[in-house]
Structure 1
Amino acid sequence: MEHINQLLDAMSPVLDHYGYLALVVSIFLEGIGVPMPGQSLMIAASILASRGVMHFPMVITVSWLSCFLGNTCGYLLGYYFESWLDKKGYISGEKFKKLQHAIKKYGPACLVISRFIEGMKQFMPLACGIAKMPLREFILGNALATTIWVAVFSFGSNYIFAHLHQIATFYTNHQLLVWSIVAMVFGLMLAMIIHRRKQR
């Protein structure tokens, strides 16, 4: 809770002053490779919406569109301006080559996973464009990654803080069940990744 209060203290003045525009600008710029506090702003806006300060459907809509369009612009930038980016030194280095190799190997799954890794999510759309991922494949992966990201950090934050007391009570009474489900989900995801690697 202390961390959440610190987040709200830091982000609330920005949201109070700029409103939904702050979400649009920060989340969109993240999609083209600019480090911004888009995720933190979206979480703060979702928590404020649970308190009636902001309109939650608007928070979800603005966040989803900004993320999807920003990522798409990042992809197009990488796809069509690879030479210019390379000349400026933005995409040089062994790490970036490894990232491109991962994209060619795992496809849209990289978009979904990278949305939850700070630092990587800003450059994944750009890298997908440079790796020449097919546009249709990118759009499908982008839509899925954006939807999951917004569902977890926006809808999840809003729901948790709207029902904080009930959730805390449920967790206290059913800790074993909760962690068993988490372990099962993690195991299933790991099995799917291993199965796909064996198929390839």
Structure 2
Amino acid sequence: MAVRFLSHWGYFAILFAAFWEGEAVLITAGTLCGAGLLDWRLTILAAAIGGSAGDQIYFYAAHDRAARTIKKSKRLSKWYPKISKFVLRHSTVAVLLSRFAAGLRITIPLVCATAGMPARKYSILNLVSGFAWASFWVAVTYQIGARLPVS
């Protein structure tokens, strides 16, 4: 029953779950790939698209809301110029590595959007980062699943 569910709905579940939460989903999915229950290529594709879509929404939502929030907050107004300069100066590296650093997955898209990073540049980097992130976690956890006894 579970195998049948995975073969029909597993990739959709990964896509949807990666939209919200990443590593826990990919650890489980990668292990299932190693056990032969999911295809690693489709798993990476679903996770990369789901994770990237979530971050893309954060990026576009920030255009409207984050700028107003920064202006209203004295603390954010003080620190934001320094943070935005740093992120824009190192924008490529910041976006590519944001998925791999705790707490930055949501922060970096918001700062990039409000600091004026072009949407096209962010979108391309976001998708590349999504595939690198999904590939890393699936490759690492695949090894765990390959060692599990599956009957």
Q: Same fold (TM over 0.5)?
A: yes
CA, structure 1 residues 130+44, in 2 after alignment: closer, same or farther (shift >3 Å)?
same
Paired position in structure 1 for 2:19: 28
Question: How far has the Cα of 1:78 moved from its partner?
Answer: 1.2
Structure scoring higher RCO (CA < 8 A, sep ≥ 6) equals 2
Could you list the runs of 5+ residues in structure 1 that have no partner in the other structure? 1-14, 30-36, 165-200
Question: How far has the Cα of 1:105 moved from its partner?
Answer: 1.0
Question: How far has the Cα of 1:75 moved from its partner?
Answer: 0.9
Question: How far has the Cα of 1:155 moved from its partner?
Answer: 3.0
Distance 2:17 2:106 in 1: 11
Give 2:129's aligned amino acid.
A
Paired position in structure 2 for 1:69: 53
Is the 2:19–2:50 contact (alpha carbons within 8 Å) kept by the matching residues of 1?
yes
Asked if 1:148 is matched to 2:139, the reply is: no
Identity %: 22
Question: How far has the Cα of 1:146 moved from its partner?
Answer: 1.3
Is the 1:20–1:62 contact (alpha carbons within 8 Å) kept by the matching residues of 2?
yes
Question: How far has the Cα of 1:142 moved from its partner?
Answer: 1.1
Distance 2:138 2:119 in 1: 27
TM-score, normalised to structure 2, is 0.74
Give 1:28's aligned amino acid.
F
Is the 2:30–2:141 contact (alpha carbons within 8 Å) kept by the matching residues of 1?
yes
Equivalent in 24, 34, 37 of residue 50 of structure 1? 34
Distance 2:147 2:82 in 1: 42
Larger Rg: 1
Paired position in structure 2 for 1:92: 76
Paired position in structure 2 for 1:82: 66
CA, structure 1 residues 102+57, in 2 after alignment: closer, same or farther (shift >3 Å)?
same
Equivalent in 68, 86, 98 of residue 114 of structure 1? 98
Kindly tell me the number of residue pairs found equivalent between the two proteins.
140
Paired position in structure 2 for 1:103: 87
Higher helix share: 2
Distance 1:159 1:132 in 2: 41
CA, structure 1 residues 154+95, in 2 after alignment: closer, same or farther (shift >3 Å)?
farther
